[in-house]
Structure 1
Amino acid sequence: MAKATGQYGTWYKQEDLGSGGFGQVSLWENVNSHEKIAIKVCRQLKAKHLQRWRQEVAIMRNLDHPGLVQFRQIPSEIESAFVAPNVALGMEYCENGDLRRLLSQSQNCCGLSEPQIRAMLGNIGSAINYLHDKKIVHRDIKPENIVLKSKENGTLAYKIIDLGYAKDLSDQTCAQSFVGTPHYLAPEFVGVQPLRYTATVDFWSFGLVAFECITGRRPFYPMLDAMRFLTILREKKKDFHICTVDNEGSDPQFSSEIPQPHHLNPILAEKIRVWLQCMVLMDPTRRGKINEVDDWFSELTAILNDTVIEVFNTQTQEVITIEADEETSITLLKTNIAQHTNIQPPDQILLFKNGEIPNPTEKVLQQFETKQQGKHFLFLFSHQHQAQLINWDVKLPDEVSSFLGKSPFNPKHMKRVTSLATNFISEICNTSIQSMEACAAVYQSMDRYRVNFHTSLGDLRTRYLYFMGMVRMYEVGVHNDIEACKDADEDPQGTINMDEIYTQLVNDRDQVASWTETVKREAENFIHQSYDELNLGHKDHWTEFFKQTRNNLTERLKDAYQKHEVLRKRLREASDHERRPTDTHSITGNEMVTLLQEHIMKFVYASIKHLKIINADISKRISAVLKIHERLGHLIPGLYNVKHMLAHRNNELHRVQRDKQVRLWSLIAYMRRDILDLQNCLSQFSNDGVEDTQMNQQHISTFDSFISELHEGINDIASLDWNFGGKHNDEGGESTQPATVNHEDAAGDVTK
């Protein structure tokens, strides 16, 4: 077998990924298509191991499941160049390393995040169930044999690798060979002769891996070697125990609870706790059974499919978890929230992360599908905005604070203290980020609300200015009409009372002037007050605040993780020095104790002080935005009141204008009748008066033309949109459609 170096055809070797019990894995890439493939090449093996190798290749070829690394045909160029027959296995490339690498990252020192745990349990649980359906037992489930691959949606897929120890039980009910990794071995591998086990050994290993992903440590005696702790388990463990917990100054104690800290919500944690109890039963015949039924995978699937809504309470900076289904309404959700908080449903303000308010007429889960992606998460605020100014107070974990006293060098305990301190900073930073995101959400909501209100306010201002323009038109017209009435003679026939017309015009003018002054005062005051009240500062200022705060918190998190890496490295050096005191280049145990104490005193306490200032600023800003919300609540009724008033006075103005038109036609009728009477008088004179009569007739024709044009003009005036298009009738008051005027009736005998 040639050495795997260089390039073969269109394929070239990128790097060596690692080595296992049977061989070495390398990464190859196609220079044209950029396709990648991982190739595991078998070493020189004994006959027994060679059989296992061939068995792994055979099993991989026949499996097809998303939770298992997929078989890939080795390109012919590579196979013909250096790979001898039956000594290589092609697999899909999983670029994100293995689960052990993920668990060793500083941000996961106390366990993975809930989404990561859900994905791991779902992927690996389904893969194990698939293998068992195929009568295959993996026998070596551990973090090193679970790899991660990126998905198109940005999440990670978890896949089982290394089927070298897998056992086909198609023709038998149990296996007898001793294989696997000691710390993840089931109890039946130790102290039992003859050795006989079934597929339930995978349940035990999977339960241990699940616990480690949740808490960041192995469940039982993580500081002891495997054989010793398995022996203790056989002697002391009860069915309901799922782990041991360390007690300072005493031996570890068995526990049925998932120890803090971890990142599961309380509802999921309780269900997983019960599920873990069945997965780590000592009795292999009962292991994996819920109520004596073989349904560990059905139970796990049901747990992962249950839906919860997480609500971040901005008053307490705590996350409330509430179970929900497709029928859960906003009303029911608010009732459940009230049971967990002191905020009653009428005082609750719920917001999505984008600042939108849930629609009370739609089911809750349906809205998450359209409003936002990812977790079902809401922010909770109170209308009682004064309560938002909370006293942000946090407390160091007891194990961390107690370490500040006189502490001996204990590497295992110090590793725990280092992880707890780092996780503590991570939690308070992430809580601060959630508070900042809550502030951003409520600002977006209020800004959107404010913009909509400003739009309505601008429309109101336009209505008001248009109305005042109509008033000015009326004032000019009525002034001219009043002056004309003053100069007009009395009607000798008594059909038109000029004094009455004059009095009515003056009364109407004074009435319009009176309520126009009221409209002017109330509308202008409301508009000016609203613009002043809604001034929350420039939007760019808020955007910059959110950006700087997020960067600040992110840098604090990054710094904490970097310091954690340094402390872990120095702790390993100190442990080595304890074993080899002659190494003068290593840090001593006492120096390490001092170093960790200084880290807690300087960095951890400084972080608390720094984050307290940030949270106080965020809290005040949330309160300020909620005050704007309260003001909007007071201003909106005023907005509609002014709109009602404008609509009502607009109708009144139209009525007055209509009445003025009727009086105008009465005056015109009176004027034409006087001219006709003059014509009749002139016609009684001699022919000498014919020329005057003809001239007067011309005046009458001209006057008739004027009346006709005036009639058309009045029709045009009457058809004007005196009520802003006739479509703003949302005030609930009188109809705003323009009233019609019967000009024929008003003119009387003018057109006879």
Structure 2
Amino acid sequence: MTSQGSAPRGGWVERHILGSGGFGTVTLWENQESDERIALKRCRLQNEMNAKHRQRWEQEITIMKRLDHPNVIAVRDVPPPLDVGKDSLPLLAMEYCSGGDLRKVLNRPEHCCGLPELQVRFLARDVARAIEYLHGKRIIHRDLKPENIVLQNIEDRIVYKLIDLGYAKELDQGSVCTSFVGTLQYLAPELFASQKYTCTVDYWSFGTVVFECITGIRPFLPSMAPVLWHREVCQKKVDDICAILDSTGKVRFSQKLPTPNHLCRTLQVYFEQWLRMMLYWDPKARGGGIDPDQRRPNCFVLLDNLLEMKIVHVLNVSANQMMSYPVVEKQTLQELQRILSEETKIPVEEQEILLASGITPDPEKPAAQCWSKPGEEDWIVFLFRKSTSVINNNDKQAKPIPLMVQNIIREPNTLLPYQEQRRAWAESVCFCQEQVTDLKTLILAQRAAILDVLRVNTKFLQKKTEMMQDIGQLQAKGDFFRMSLQHDIQRYNDQAASGGITSSSMYAKWKKMGEDLKQIKELSWRMTELDEQARALQTKIVELHKSPFAKSKQTDVLEELTTKAEKLYQDLRLATKEQRRTLSDHSPMVNVVHKCVLVRHKAMADLYTHLGKASSCKAEIKKLLPDISAGCDEIKQSIERLTTNQKQRQNDLWYLVKKALSGVNNQSGASVLRQELKGDISNLPPQSAVSDSSSSGLESLKIIEDNKQTQAHLSNLFDNVLHEHDSFVSSLHDMTWDFLGPSSGDTK
């Protein structure tokens, strides 16, 4: 069933009326077989138009068919079943844009104080390209207004397109004025006054549309009657971009964009500069002339530069202050930090900057690494102060309540004229929206802080694990060394007591080695204490994940309150003229704003508490990590010292053997020593080989007997020493140490 009940025509069905203007009505038609949809416009004044006007209408359609630009509505062929006869004015078939027109978008309650920054960017760029294209074709639109800008969703992005191109430009001035009834606020002053004009009339209209998209209201006295409006606005100074009536009824001009709006402060400054150029009262100065290098109007050059500018958004977390800065390709991160220091009073060395991913920017890379392509959610950089382990909730700045909202909160029963009440309620809606945005941004800050803690904690845990593995290695090797040392000292004492070889310096060194083992015990105790502190810290870090702000949907209550505020505003906007004459109080809106403030206050307090916990955890990691790193170094040094002591003790044992054998050499000669080293004790030299002297037989027998006894004693001692040493060395080198795990200081 169609909206007008018309029957299908050749498979085409009329769906509903899309809109109507001064000359025509646009209707949506859909093909039942192909699902193709077109917007069909027919002239509704054809019975009132003479032959000259009819000729100009047909000529305009011919021109439209020659235009081809992505930001200008595309013309389609009229389907034969829908076409009209030769005696009727021709129809205009156009592509169907499902997003509706810009006026419907601006009328949504969530846009009562302007569009989001991203949509302002897209709209300004798309419409500027369309206007520059038309002017290049020597076409002046003359009727730029939100109703003549439509939206089409292409590849997940809204594209803005111009419609109703120049239908009135060839008509007489009387018809022009008739066609603009109700949209005079978008007319350039010279067009309104029926003066000669150029393409700069489109600049004024374009600037007015962009201003309304930024703020939600038109720039100059939007509620004033046209004739009075012209008389007042013509008094504006060159750089004035808006005018309002104050509480006394006096006109106040301004060179600044009114607040609240949704632009970052950097874009506000540059758009103010651009709007001054577009809203010059003098048509010759409007647009800024022609750029000599690019040979394009300066207004389009400036807008391109503005929209291509890279803007970094930085949240000073402790102050809850959002800042924005334009950055250039060669600007260093250190230069950006110096700018931050000037504004926040946080010294560069105290700044801790985190990207949304929780990663710290690379100081060797330019500041542009903190920028991302504009999207629905800009990539925000978060600024923390290093020395603050706990964020002071009292330092944060509460977002100021707009003045008009303060007035209705202070006196909710004070009755205001409709336009003032509507603006006060619009600012109330925007205030509620800002609370949602602020809370979401701080939640992102907490998420970045937690990710940063987890990243740092990963390295911390690796170092702590290394410490515990190494201390385990040290303890095991120390225990083995202690047992073997005790055994060696015991055997040394035993052989010394039986008249064996002794060395006071060697014995003192061994005793000193035993004293050194006490340091291993003390080191082990300190590492255990560090491990306990690290375990307690891990418990705190796990608790961070249990934060309610670590989960999604933590702004539900504020979003519900914002929705209520938007509905109240929409009901007020849609009130009939009779209802508008009846003044009403502000209690419903004030109640919503009051609840919003209370919810925000509690949520912010809780959020800053959790931010403080994350900051405290990171501070503890930074405090413990140097101690653990130093502990790892001490463990490695202790292992090296233990290994050195072991080698020294082995050298001492061999020195003892050498000393014992040296005594044998002095008494029995080199040949006896060589035989003893070979272990061939049974093949002793004959008596004649011992002495060839002619001494008496009794003396010779005594020497031989002494030699036999000394040889037997040393042989016994040597065998015992070699046996014990070989056993110890064999057990030390052949023992499997795998159960201790790899030592971080070992190399293969």
* Secondary structure at 2:98 match in 1: coil
Q: Partner of 1:651 in structure 2?
A: 640
State which of 11, 28, 31 in structure 1 corresponds to 2:30: 28
Alignment of 1:108-187 (within 5 A): 108-152=111-155, 154-165=156-167, 167=169, 178=177, 180=180, 181-187=183-189
Q: 1:635 maps to which residue?
A: 624
- The yes-or-no answer on 1:452 pairing with 2:464 is no
- Cα distance, 1:546 vs structure 2: 4.0
Q: Residues 515 and 340 from structure 1, CA distance in 2 versus in 1: closer, same or farther, beyond 3 angstroms? A: same
Question: Aligned runs of 1:175-574 on 2, under 5 Å?
Answer: 178=177, 180=180, 181-192=183-194, 195-234=195-234, 236-289=235-288, 294-368=297-371, 375=378, 377-385=380-388, 386=390, 388-390=392-394, 393-403=398-408, 404-405=410-411, 407-488=414-495, 497=502, 503-511=508-516, 513-534=517-538, 535-542=540-547, 545-569=550-574, 572-573=575-576
Q: Is the 8 A contact 2:316 2:384 kept in 1?
A: yes
Q: Which SS does the other structure have where 2:318 is aligned?
A: coil
| CA distance in 1: counterparts of 2:291 and 2:232, whole angstroms | 26
Q: Any conservation in 2 of the 1:139–1:202 contact (CA below 8 Å)?
A: yes
| 1:205 alignment partner AA | S
Note closer, same or farther for the CA distance 1:126–1:379 as it changes in structure 2 (3 Å cut). Answer: same
What SS does the corresponding residue of 1:360 show, helix, strand or coil? Answer: coil
| Cα separation, partners in 2 of 1:708 and 1:649, compared to 1, 3 Å | closer
5 Å-filtered alignment, 1:598-609, equals 598-600=588-590, 602-609=591-598
| Cα distance in 2 between the residues matched to 1:426 and 1:370 | 23
Deviations along 1:141-182, one digit per CA (max 9) or x if unpaired, are 111111222343x4422221222527599xxxx999655442
Shift in alpha-carbon separation, 1:664–1:305, aligned structure 2, 3 A: same
Distance change >3 Å, CA 71–CA 449, structure 1 → 2: farther
Offset, 1:638: 1.0
Instruction: Give the Cα–Cα distance (whole angstroms) in 2 for the partners of residues 230 and 564 of structure 1.
Output: 30
With over 3 angstroms needed to count, the CA separation of the structure-2 counterparts of 1:295 and 1:660, relative to structure 1, is same
**Higher Cα Rg: structure 1 or 2?**
2
Query: Which stretch shows the higher mean deviation, 355-364 or 275-284?
Result: 275-284
- Which amino acid is 1:529 matched to? Q
1:212: Cα distance to partner? 0.6
- The match for 1:67 is 71
Partner in structure 2 of residue 576 of structure 1: 578
- In structure 2, the residue corresponding to 1:110 is in which secondary structure? coil
Q: Does 1:661 align with 2:665?
A: no
Distance 1:48 1:551, change over 3 A: farther
Larger mean CA deviation between 521-530 and 259-268 belongs to: 259-268
Quick one: which amino acid aligns to residue 605 of structure 1? Answer: H
User: In the aligned structure 1, how far is the partner of 2:5 from the partner of 2:588?
Assistant: 52
> In the superposition, relative to structure 1, how do residues 605 and 65 fare at CA in structure 2: closer, same or farther (>3 Å)?
same
Which residue of structure 1 lines up, in the alignment, with residue 690 of structure 2?
none
Alignment of 1:27-46 (within 5 A): 28=30, 37-43=37-43, 45=46, 46=49
Alignment check: 8 A CA contact 1:207 1:279 kept: yes
Query: Normalised by the size of structure 2, how large is the TM-score?
Result: 0.81
Contact conserved, 1:136 with 1:166, CA < 8 A, in 2?
Answer: no
What is the Cα deviation at residue 241 of structure 1? 2.1
Q: Which runs of 5+ in 1 are unaligned?
A: 580-588, 686-696, 729-735, 739-752
Q: Secondary structure at the match of 2:322?
A: strand
Q: Give the aligned partner of residue 747 of structure 1.
A: none
Cα gap change, 1:388 to 1:119, in 2 (>3 Å): farther
Pair 88,502 (structure 1): closer, same or farther in 2 beyond 3 Å: farther
Q: Which amino acid aligns with 2:478?
A: V
1:245 is paired with a residue whose SS is: strand
Decide whether aligned partners of structure 1 residues 384 and 300 sit closer, same or farther in structure 2, where only a CA change above 3 A counts. Answer: same
Per-residue deviation at 1:648? 0.9
**Do the aligned partners of residues 662 and 205 (structure 1) sit closer, same or farther apart at CA in structure 2, a change above 3 Å counting?**
same
1:597 is aligned to 587
How far the C-alpha of 1:248 sits from its partner, in A, is 1.0
Task: Give the letter aligned to residue 145 of structure 1.
Answer: N
CA contact (8 A) 1:52 1:164 kept: no
Say if 1:139 and 1:165, in contact at 8 Å, map to a contact too.
no
Structure-1 separation of matches of 2:8 and 2:494: 114
1:632-654, Cα deviation, whole Å (9 max, x unpaired) = 22222212211111111111111
- Quote how far apart the aligned CAs of 1:99 are: 1.4
Shift of residue 332 of structure 1? 0.8
Range with bigger deviation, 133-142 or 714-723:
714-723
Give distance in 2, aligned partners of 1:725 and 1:168: 90
Unmatched 5+ stretches in structure 2: 662-672, 687-714
Separation in structure 1 between the aligned mates of residue 37 and residue 90 of structure 2, nearest angstrom: 16
For residue 611 of structure 1, report the CA deviation from its aligned partner: 0.9
Could you say which residue in structure 2 is the equivalent of 1:693? none
Shift of 1:52: 5.3
Q: Is the contact between residue 472 and residue 740 of structure 2 (CA under 8 Å) also seen in structure 1?
A: no
Paired residues, number: 683
Distance 1:706 1:518, change over 3 A: closer
Encode CA deviations 1:540-582: one digit per residue, 9 max, x unaligned.
412665425233333333333233323434xx14x42466xxx
**Alignment-mate amino acid for residue 451 of structure 1:** T
Aligned twin of 2:666: none
| AA partner of residue 470 (structure 1) | K
Deviations, residues 183-239 of structure 1 (Å, cap 9, x unaligned): 2111112334xx4321111011001101111111011111124344234334x2332
Secondary structure (helix, strand or coil) at the match of 2:147 reads helix
Distance 2:620 2:269 in 1: 43
> 2:489 and 2:723 mapped to 1: Cα distance?
24
Report the 3-state secondary structure (helix = DSSP H, G, I; strand = E; otherwise coil) of the residue aligned with 2:252. Answer: strand
SS in 1 for 2:150: strand
Pick closer, same or farther for the CA change 1:27–1:542 going to 2, 3 Å.
farther
Looking at structure 1, the residues matched to 643 and 9 of structure 2 have their Cα atoms a distance apart, in angstroms, of 91
Change in CA separation of 1:629 and 1:145 when aligned onto 2, cut-off 3 Å: same
Give the distance between the partners of 2:677 and 2:205, measured in 1 at CA.
117
Q: Which residue of the partner structure matches residue 105 of structure 2?
A: 102
Give the aligned CA root-mean-square deviation in angstroms: 4.1
- CA–CA separation in structure 1 for the residues paired with 2:375 and 2:139: 41
C-alpha distance in 1 between matches for 2:623 and 2:442: 27
Change (3 A) 1:558 1:599: closer
Distance between the aligned counterparts of 1:395 and 1:370, measured in 2? 29
Identity %: 24
More displaced 10-residue stretch of structure 1: 360-369 or 337-346: 360-369
Q: CA deviation at 1:704?
A: 11
Paired with 1:69 and 1:176, the residues of 2 have a C-alpha distance of 24
State whether residues 496 and 502 of structure 2, in contact with CA within 8 Å, keep that contact through their aligned partners in structure 1.
no
The answer to which of 513-522 and 531-540 deviates more is 531-540
Give the conservation status (yes or no) of the 8 Å contact 1:15–1:28: no
TM-score, normalisation: structure 1: 0.80
2: distance between equivalents of 1:427 and 1:541? 26
Matches within 5 A, 1:691-702: none
> How much has 1:399 moved relative to structure 2?
2.0
Structure-2 change in CA distance of 1:454 and 1:216 (3 Å): same
